[in-house]
Amino acid sequence: MTCWAIHEHQNCQKYGRPDSDFMKWRWKPDGCDLPVFNPYQFLEIVRDKSLAFVGDSVGRNQMQSLICMLSRVEYPIDKSATKDENFKNWYYVSYNFTLATYWSPFLVEAREASSDGPTHTGLFNLYLDEFDEKWTTHIDKFNYLIINAGHWFWRPALYYTNHQVIGCRFCQLQNITDYPMTFGYRKAIRTAFNAINSRENFKGVTILRTFAPMHFEGGEWNSGGDCVRKKPFKGNEVTLEGVNLELYMTQIEEFKRGEKMGKKKGLKYRLLDTTQAMLLRPDGHPSRYGHWPNENVTLYNDCVHWCLPGPIDTWSDFLLHMLKMEGLRSAEEKSHPRG
């Protein structure tokens, strides 16, 4: 009720969701205890530092969750250089901490070729070997970079390398090879990591946040599919399979490749693995309990993003633990200099 950072489309309680159990379940890892997020501790760890989210609207969903989690201590002020909501820069005055978001749903250079397209979600030109300079030219100033992508790769797209069409994803055009979505996804992640590794002045930690599966049942997003479950799956009720497994494995493989290349330049790569935890949470999506600001329109059921508050708040638990571990690693490296 108090956090202004909640996007209207994820404000499930405001728009009539009657149940609240989805806010109370917590992730319990095997063999250890994951502490509840402590906003004071988080802000102390990131004092005098900066963190950027790069990717799609689920990444923005995560940032909004984090802002709300930190609001018990302090709200940031808006120091964005533009009014574009896709490129925000938030500043925590008391901690000299900057939190930013860069919109890049494909991670590479992309342009909309048609506003319609075979699935009515647009047809995109993806330049799979070209950096998206809207974020790659800004990363030098960040200590932490959280990369994410996934859901936009379901959309129809023409794939380009060296400015030549090499194929597509469900473009339904004659004489153009149709590839599975993992083809473009792999090349895009690889190019994003190449962009990071090629920056001479970037010294930060790159964190790949693995994708969070959708939970449409009874149809696709545009054919009546919905997510109406009120409880998480049990561990033995669902497994990562099909295209979700392929996407996840593609991410892991490209992460390992990017990490190996980055190590040669002294760069650090970390994996924020949210996939299994979120696979079990079909109860945490907005479904029909969302709304675009100032618009009286019927929305598709949203089984992609996450209610706030909701299961995505767990990602801040993960992130805080990772930053603690990062601090321990740095302390060890300083006390044990390598010969």
pLDDT in tens, 225-258: 999 999 999 989 999 999 999 999 999 999 999 9
| pTM as predicted | 0.94
Smallest CA-to-CA distance from 304 within 102, 190, 153 is with 153
Confidence class for position 290, pLDDT limits 50, 70, 90? confident
Which band of pLDDT confidence, cut at 50, 70 and 90, is reported for residue 190?
Answer: very high
Could you tell me if 68 and 57 are in contact, meaning their C-beta atoms sit under 8 angstroms apart? no
Place of tokens 């909501």: 85
Residue 78 a catalytic site member: no
Distance, C-alpha 143 to centroid of its chain: 17
For the stretch 129-158, pLDDT in tens is: 999 999 999 999 999 999 999 999 999 999
Q: How far, rounded to the nearest angstrom, does the alpha carbon of residue 219 sit from its chain's CA centroid?
A: 24
Q: Which of 50, 57, 287, 316 is flagged as catalytic?
A: 57
- pLDDT interval class at 295 (50, 70, 90): low
Helix crossing, 57-70 with 314-335: angle to 10°?
A: 80
pLDDT band for position 300 (cuts 50, 70, 90): confident
The pLDDT of residue 293 is above 60 = no
Domains and CATH numbers, the chain: 26-335 (3.40.50.1110)
Q: Is 71 a catalytic residue?
A: no
Determine which one of 132, 283, 302, 317 is catalytic: 302
Give the pLDDT score at 235: 87
65, 305, 313, 316: the active-site residue: 305
The angle at the Cα of 305, spanning 302 to 311, to the nearest 5 degrees, equals 120
Please give the single-letter amino acid code of residue 153: F
What does the buried/exposed string (b/e) look like for 107-131 if buried means 16 or more CB atoms within 10 Å of the residue's CB? Answer: bbbbeeeeeebeeeebbbbbbbbbb
Active site residue 305: yes
Q: Among residues 307, 310, 316, 328, which one has the least CA distance to residue 37?
A: 316
